[in-house]
Amino acid sequence: MITVYGAFPTRSLRVIWALEELGLDYRLRPVDLRTRMQDAEFLNINPAGFLPAMQDGDVAMVDSIAMLEYLVARYDGANLLAPAASDACFPAYQQFLHLGESGMAAFLNVIVGSKFMAPENEKDNFGARMAERMFDSRLALVKAQLGRAPMMAGERFSAADISVVYALGMAERLGLADNFGAEVADYRGRMAARPAFQRANRSWSPPAS
């Protein structure tokens, strides 16, 4: 059985959501973010200490987008989460699958560090402001795609939506939802209404605020 080491609200959601969409059996192994560097079982899978991590038999992985590609390649024989490489939608799928992390969520990490970890007089800094501008520039690509089609790979749901929607949720938690506009907000709402997304979110109980 696949084991996902995860915690709310990390990129673990991407992997669990994909597993739910594929109908695969898995075990969620919660990791306490506050004490993860003392969690020997978790660190055996990912000594770097970030989430998610995944174990599938002899396979261990620690990058959420790589995990999505692995699950698609190994278990998605029905092409539920990815168009075939010969499909005209495949380039858009590939672009937004990776853009959701490299062009969106990765920049938000800088804002997370500034907002929650920096000293008070360094929270509003050049790096955080630049990261928000970079995120917004990539968000414009999502908006343009939604002007052409209802989802990132066109007419059909795919792992590219899982990638992008996680980044949108992260942005919302950082107070950036006003940047979305109606089209992106509607898209995120449609994706969040998917039963597999809702089951993935019920996999753990968010910590009390």
Where in the chain is CATH 1.20.1050.10?
90-195
Which pLDDT score is estimated for 208?
Answer: 39
Q: The domain at 90-195 falls in which architecture?
A: Up-down Bundle (1.20)
pTM: 0.94
Q: Return residue ranges of the chain for CATH 3.40.30.10.
A: 2-81
The Cα 14–Cα 10 span in angstroms is 9
- Helix, strand, coil shares of the chain, percent, nearest 5, are 60, 10, 35
Phi-psi region of 39 (alpha: psi -120 to 50; beta: other; left: phi over 0): beta
Fold category of 2-81 in CATH: Glutaredoxin (3.40.30)
Give burial (CB, 10 Å; 0-12/13-18/19+) of 94.
Answer: middle
pLDDT of residue 120: 79
Sequential pLDDT tens for the chain (209 residues)? 999 999 999 999 999 999 999 999 999 999 999 999 999 999 999 999 999 999 999 999 999 999 999 999 999 999 999 999 999 999 999 999 999 999 999 999 999 988 887 787 887 888 899 999 999 999 999 999 999 999 999 999 999 999 999 999 999 999 999 999 999 999 999 999 999 999 999 886 544 33
